[in-house]
Every structure is written in C-alpha cells, then in structure tokens.
Chain A
Amino acid sequence: MSEAGSETNVSNVAVFDTHPAEPIDAESPLAWSRQRGLVDAAGGSGQVSAIERPFLGHLILRGGAITLDEAVRAELGINLPGQPLGLNVDAEGSRSVQWLSPDEWLVIVPGGEEFALENRLRERLGDAHFAIVNVSGGQTLVELSGDKARDVLMKSVTYDVHSHGLPVGKAVGTVFAKTSINLRRPSEACFELVVRRSFADYCVRWLRDAGREYGVSVESPTS
C-alpha cells in the first residue's frame, strides 16, 4: 500500500481544460429559464435582485486541512477556513474558499483560472493524500441582494439567515425549497446561492415566486 500512494501524481492524473483557448458556445444553467422569459436582460427596480454568475471555476478539494491549507495559501493567497462553516474571500471578492465538511472545501475562482490553479495545486501537493475535482459544469452561483433579499430567503430556507445566524464569512449547506444549496454570506450586502445545474431553473422560478411581493429581478449574463 505504501507504494500505491506515490503512483498517483501530477503526471498520471487525467485533467483537462474546460475553458479551451478557442471560444466555443456555452450555455449557463439558466439558459432554459432565459428561453422561457424568466430571466431579465437587465435588472429591474424591485427590492430583490438575483444575478447569476455563470461559468466560474468551481473546484472541490479533499484531503487533510493542514496539507491543503499550505498549498491553497501558496497558490491562491487565501487561508483554508479551519473552522466548520467558514468562508474566506480574497480582497477583490472574486476568489473564495468554503468549508464543506471536515475534509472537503469548495474553491471558486473567475472562469478560466481553475485549470491552471488545479495544475499548480497538484504540482505543489505532489504525493500527498488529496483529491481535486473540477465541478464547474455541475453548479452555478446566484447572487441575491436588495432590501428584501433576507425576507425572500426566510421563506425559502429553514436556516436562520439573520446576521447572528449567518454572519459575513459563514457558509452553510442547507435545504432551499426542497433542494440542496450552499448558502454563503461573502459580504454584508449580498447572499450567494450555489445551486445544482439541474435545479437552477427550479430555484429561479422559486425565487421569482417568493420575491414577487417585493418586486424581484433575475439577471443572467449570456457570456
């Protein structure tokens, strides 16, 4: 067994770039909602705004906290959240590391960076016991903001979304309208919902319904 571990290293793990140099058409998980007129081209004037951030790079890291922390700090400049339910965001607000479980973290970076980052992490982690999986195609991120964003969430999740339950820098996996999401609080002004690709349309329709009384707009950039 001691030999087996060293056989899995940078050179023989199959990885591929999901953002090839030659741009090809890609559809966000909300393409179907857009086609059915459930997504607005531009923001409305309501009190709740949901904006999809499609095509980001999502990586799942698994392994020991100490090993991964060193590598992530060196390659990304962000500390691995050591405490449960932690969410660390960089100064720009565009790269983040979220605690998912005691041996599992979600890294989100701007689209196109994830392949290089994955390779750099693999290089650095070498023969350590770890796993990295690119899940960019499997989920999408929706930003929820506005005066009534919290009220909409209160109708949708069982979790306590008041600032004492979900302060800035906290992220929880929970139930959102019968589906599973990661609910994140990267800043005072907004909540982030990481939703499964196949449930994205359902979540948007739920948000439109739950936010109707406040006026809600759903935006999804097409590229």
Chain B
Amino acid sequence: MFYIHCPYCGERREEEEFHPNGQAHLVRPADPDSVSDEEWGDYLFFRDNPRGIHHEMWVHRLGCRKFFNITRNTTTYEILETYPMGEQPTITAETAKVRHEQGVQTADGGWQTVGARPENSTLNEETPS
C-alpha cells in the first residue's frame, strides 16, 4: 500500500482512498470542428505509456473528492510528487535523467520527494497511546 499526499487535504492518506484516472495534462483541442480525424482520435483514444516518469491524474475519491496530478515512476512505482490541477510538474523525464546522472536520489526514507515529508518527524515514531 502507498501513502499518497493529497494536495488539497494537505496530508498523506492510504492508497485505498484514491483512484487513478489516467494520463494528466491532456488538452482538448480548442476548436474541435477544425481538427483532423487523426488529431481528434489522438486526443480521444491514444495515451502515452512510458517506462519511467509519467504524469497521471488521480482522484481522492473517498476524501475530498478532488482531482489532482501525480508524477510517478512506472517501473519502480515510486510517487515523486503530487500537485493540484492547473499546475505543472517540477519533475519530468528530462529533469529526472539529469538528477540520476548527477547521482541525486529523488526520494529517501520512503517519503515522496515533494509535499510528503511530515513537518514533525516525531509523528512517525512510536508514541504511547
């Protein structure tokens, strides 16, 4: 199970509360009447299926019920960042490649890189109830 950071609730939640909704940042053609069948078909049916960094739309369906975006590595299942609708990713296939070449780890200690690290690490330590 993953803990996923919802950018609207502002905290990490169990994967069970979320549902994936496919590729993010799809833009509907501004003037559908003027595009070719091929362009319309691409928009409607064809999706990227990259190995590695991918941007996906997810919904916090059992929480705030808002859609948001996730940058995810499709080979390691690592979630690199989550960000609200309308914003652009800070990690892309290009930046991840550079980081990899420079030996920078995108995540450590099991936390998502962006937005996931709790402000107070003691929250993750055992406390008597």
Contact = CB atoms under 8 A, between A and B. Distances in A.
B10 A158 contact: no
A173 B64 contact: yes
Contact of B16 (A101, A172, A175): A175
Nearest to A99: B64
Interface size class of B (residues with CB under 8 A): 10 to 19
Contacts, number: 46
B64 A175 contact: no
Given A84-B10, A158-B14, A174 B127 contact: no
B62 interface: yes
A173 B63 contact: yes
Interface of A: 84-85, 100-102, 104, 150, 158-159, 162, 164, 172-175, 180
Contacts of B13: 158-159, 174
Contacts of A150: 129
B35 interface: no
B127 A164 contact: yes
Interface in B6-38: 8-11, 13-14, 16-17
A180 B62 contact: yes
A100 B9 CA distance: 9
Nearest to A158: B14
Contact of B127 (A100, A162, A175): A162
A123 B123 CA distance: 45
Given A164-B127, A180-B62, A174 B10 contact: no
